[in-house]
Amino acid sequence: MKTRKLQSIFLSLGVILLPLTVSNLALANISAKGLKTTLNRTLSGTYDEGTWGGKGSNETWNHSWTMVGDEAVQLNNIKEVDGEFTANLKIAWKCKHTREDYNFAGVRKGKYDDRYSGYVTAEVAVGSIAGQSKIFVNNINNTYRNFRCGNSLVSKLKKLNQSEL
């Protein structure tokens, strides 16, 4: 008899809690869409990562990168707790690396193009502090850590940390 009562209680709780869970997930999904829109607007574009040359070298190097397509910003593993949510962020990028060689008189001898693609991952959270919705970005990781491609994206994400939505 006790088993039946427990089953009945759990069933009742399930019926009550299921709609709450569904509405919380819907709220997190709406918040995630807002975050995704904000990230797309803030981070999209083409970035010139600068020109540099080695000391005493006759080479000039250029990098530029752009986000890849409309789905460049991906949010996965979205979780919502008490009106705040967390997600895993993945941003795809492609990079063009150009090297120009010059002779001693400054005349260009050659030009070489390399193309790379990769992504930056991070953990994002959206929450409220003193009534202001803020985004928090942690554990940022670029697939090319020791390479300039994507570094300006990492810098933008760091600047975005703790900013208002």
- DSSP class of residue 69 equals S
Contacts of 74 (CB under 8 A, 6+ apart): 89, 90, 91, 92
Whether the pLDDT of residue 20 is over 70: the answer is no
Distances in Å between the alpha carbon of 73 and those of 44, 62, 122, 143? 9, 25, 11, 15
Mean pLDDT over 83-108 rounds to 76
Q: pTM for this structure?
A: 0.58
Confidence check: pLDDT of 9 > 50:
no
For the chain, the average pLDDT equals 66
Q: Domain tally for the chain?
A: 1
pLDDT (0 to 100) of residue 139: 92
Question: 70 or 100: whose pLDDT is higher?
Answer: 100
Rounded-to-integer distance, Cα 150 and Cα 144, Å: 7
Residue 65: domain span: 2-164
Alpha carbon of residue 24 to chain centroid: 23
Rg, the chain, Cα only: 24
- Quick check: 3 pLDDT over 70? no
Could you give the angle at which helices 2-43 and 151-160 cross, rounded to 10 degrees?
Answer: 120
What residues does 55 pair with on adjacent strands?
none
- 78-83 long-range contacts, Cβ below 8 Å, gap at least 24? 78/28, 78/29, 78/32, 79/28, 80/24, 80/25, 80/27, 80/28, 80/31, 83/27, 83/128
**Across 19-28, 52-61, 96-105, which has the greatest mean pLDDT?**
96-105
| Higher pLDDT pick, 52 / 37 | 37
d(CA 6, CA 130): 42
Tell me the CATH number at 37: 3.15.10
